[in-house]
Amino acid sequence: MNKAVDWKEAFEPLIEMYKDEKHPLDYKKSIYRLLVMVLLSAQNSDENINRVTPGFFKEFPNMKAMSKASYAEMEKLLAKVRFHRQKIEWLMEIASELKDDKNIPKTMKALVGLKGIGRKSANVILREAGAKAEGILVDLHVLRVVDRLGISHATDGVKMEKDLMEVLPQEIWGEVGMAISFLGRDTCRPTDPKHEECVMNKVCEYCQAKRK
């Protein structure tokens, strides 16, 4: 890691760029919908989840309705989701436990205690719910971008999140992960990254190495 870089300052333009960007999951500002969608989106594309879930939410508009759903009813609506059988079991267990939208937790500890919800999903839910950030979102885009920047070369999301939390103040945890993820989608792509357009190019190890 380049310890000479003030990473909080370096990320400020990126956070400013994406602070009003709509989350890729079209959850209609409903934390219930978001919880369901982030669970379903694991190892699946956000685009597919956005296509599949409108019919599901028409049938089950809230946690109370989902708690009364049968496995067969849910499978009929979620069959196009990868690993849907396991995910349906998790959703049924969550609905049985929470029973109502108002009981959806707003802390990291309680969220990761739910079946199928890991730290990545919990960080998304906390951010969108406006709750205090307790970690930093690390998805596949963040893993790639942060590795290229040189902040952390961890290949595991939890380890990379820990590395980021050590060098960044908590006040930006809630926004920085999503901003990095958007950068990875738009600019720092797996192939042919747009180095000249990137707001992080002056502090990026990968970019600097390519320019030599």
CATH number at residue 117: 1.10.340.30
Co-location of 67 and 139 in the same domain: no
Dihedral, 38, 42, 45, 50 alpha carbons, nearest 10: -30
Co-location of 91 and 113 in the same domain: yes
Co-location of 15 and 57 in the same domain: no
Co-location of 103 and 39 in the same domain: yes
pLDDT band of 201, cuts 50, 70, 90: very high
Half-sphere exposure of residue 72: CA atoms within 13 angstroms, side-chain side: 0
Co-location of 116 and 165 in the same domain: no
Domain for residue 207, yes or no? yes
Domain for residue 2, yes or no? no
Per the structure, the complete domain to which residue 72 belongs is given by 31-128
Co-location of 99 and 42 in the same domain: yes
Note whether 17 and 179 are within 8 A (CB): yes
pLDDT of residue 4: 79
Domain for residue 49, yes or no? yes
Co-location of 60 and 115 in the same domain: yes
pLDDT of residue 3: 63
Q: Rg of the chain over CA atoms, in angstroms? A: 18
Instruction: List pLDDT tens digits, range 5-43.
Output: 999 999 999 999 999 899 999 999 999 999 999 999 999
Co-location of 107 and 150 in the same domain: no
Co-location of 140 and 121 in the same domain: no
pLDDT of residue 15: 98
Domain for residue 52, yes or no? yes
How many domains are contained in the chain? Answer: 2
Co-location of 119 and 157 in the same domain: no
Residue where a domain stops, chosen among 110, 128, 146? 128
**What is the reported pTM?**
0.93
Domain for residue 91, yes or no? yes
| 137 CB-contact burial (10 Å; exposed 0-12 / middle 13-18 / buried 19+) | buried
The token pair that represents 14 in the structure block: 């990126």
